[in-house]
Amino acid sequence: MAQVEKLAIGNPDGVGSIHRFTWKGKIPYRFSFTMRVTRYVPNVMLEGQADGEVVGTGRWDFMQVNDMTIVHYTWKVHTNRLWMNLLAPIAKRIFKWNHDQVMQQGKEGLTRWLQIQSK
């Protein structure tokens, strides 16, 4: 389950816009963070600053190959949840599995968005 709320619009190209993301994977917890767009180059790159239960930066690089868009995502964040940080050493495999489920949700959502943008 993923939910996205627009909190601020930003300038005409979206820089400065802020969205709140709430994610739930397969294990029973949710986490939420805001992402402020810091850079955007249409069809090339999108970059943002995360704050909340995760803190750091995310960058999506887009490359067109024939009729396909390839996305490379770099996510440099750390969690702000004490219980999660404390359990991480012993629950690493479970957290990774859950993270993979959340990333699959993100991939599916981004694919839908890209299909709309290409029309």
The tokens for 36 are 């402020």
Residue 1: predicted pLDDT: 63
Residue 111: predicted pLDDT: 83
Could you write out the DSSP letters of every residue in 52-107? ESEEEEEEEEEEEETTEEEEEEEEEEEE--HHHHHHHHHHHHHHHHHHHHHHHHHH
pTM value?
A: 0.77
Domain hosting 64: range is 2-117
pLDDT tens digits in sequence order for the chain, 119 residues long: 678 899 999 999 999 999 999 988 888 888 899 999 999 999 899 999 999 999 999 999 999 999 888 889 899 999 888 888 898 899 889 888 988 888 888 788 878 887 887 76
Residue 102: predicted pLDDT: 84
Query: Any bridge partners for residue 77, and if so which?
Result: 56
Residue 55: predicted pLDDT: 96
Q: Are 87 and 94 in contact (CB under 8 A)?
A: no
Instruction: Read off the CATH number of the domain in which 7 is found.
Output: 3.30.530.20
Total domains present in the chain:
1
Residue 48: predicted pLDDT: 97
Query: Any bridge partners for residue 39, and if so which?
Result: 47
